[in-house]
């Protein structure tokens, strides 16, 4: 799976996580004692070609980007990248700018008027440019390289007042936390 597609072909426990609807942050928070967001980068950045396409642009231009690592009990488990058009980060998606270490899910799943497109899936193979970007960011944030296997990823476009926001989540943990139950809290 080298391109983004609607049908994810994941097997085993990781499928329950990658294909799950709703908030990944809420699922991760329920799987451990402490959920946290580590902000890696936030601000104006050139969009990748496939991001621009997903946002409905015909060319590549500047966007507003937020990259984070989602952690459970201190362990880095997911790399997330959220992008919107620069003007939209001052309008419908201005809340993206003020999140700090709060999860984006606090906006996406707790406010009205936000729609979500279908989940798209992709395996990020080690030679892809996107995978190399994720690997560099992961290494810098955690001090450890992601595993060498292909990394499961998903993305979807959220819309608020006609403005798109693309959210990509890469399941990049070194170990296999995806065998966690949906909730360890009982």
| Domain spans in the chain, listed from the N-terminal domain onward | 13-179
pTM: predicted TM-score of the whole model, two decimal places: 0.90
Closest CA to 93 of 21, 160, 184: 160
- Give the confidence band of 94 by pLDDT, cuts at 50, 70, 90: very high
Residue positions counted in the chain: 186
- Give the confidence band of 22 by pLDDT, cuts at 50, 70, 90: confident
Q: What is the Cα–Cα distance from 104 to 33, expressed in whole angstroms?
A: 19
Q: What is the Cα–Cα distance from 11 to 128, expressed in whole angstroms?
A: 22
**Average pLDDT for residues 132-136, to the nearest whole number?**
93
**Average pLDDT for residues 145-174, to the nearest whole number?**
90
- Give the confidence band of 1 by pLDDT, cuts at 50, 70, 90: very low
User: Which CATH number describes the domain made up of 13-179?
Assistant: 3.40.1410.10
């Amino acid at each position: 799976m080298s391109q983004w597609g609607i049908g994810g072909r994941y097997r085993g426990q990781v499928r329950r996580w990658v294909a799950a609807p709703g908030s990944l942050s809420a699922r991760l928070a329920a799987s451990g004692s402490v959920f946290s967001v580590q902000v890696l980068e936030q601000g104006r950045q050139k969009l990748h070609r496939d991001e621009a396409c997903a946002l409905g642009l015909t060319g590549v231009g500047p966007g507003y980007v937020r990259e984070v690592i989602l952690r459970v009990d201190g362990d880095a488990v997911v790399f997330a990248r959220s992008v919107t058009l620069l003007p939209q980060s001052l309008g419908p998606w201005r809340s993206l700018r003020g999140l700090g270490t709060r999860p984006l899910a606090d906006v996406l799943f707790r406010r009205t008027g936000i729609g979500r497109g279908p989940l798209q899936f992709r395996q990020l193979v080690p030679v892809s440019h996107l995978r190399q970007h994720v690997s560099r960011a992961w290494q810098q944030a955690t001090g450890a390289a992601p595993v060498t296997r292909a990394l499961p990823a998903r993305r979807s476009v959220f819309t608020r007042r006609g403005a798109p926001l693309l959210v990509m989540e890469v399941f990049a943990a070194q170990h296999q936390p995806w065998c966690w139950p949906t909730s360890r809290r009982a």
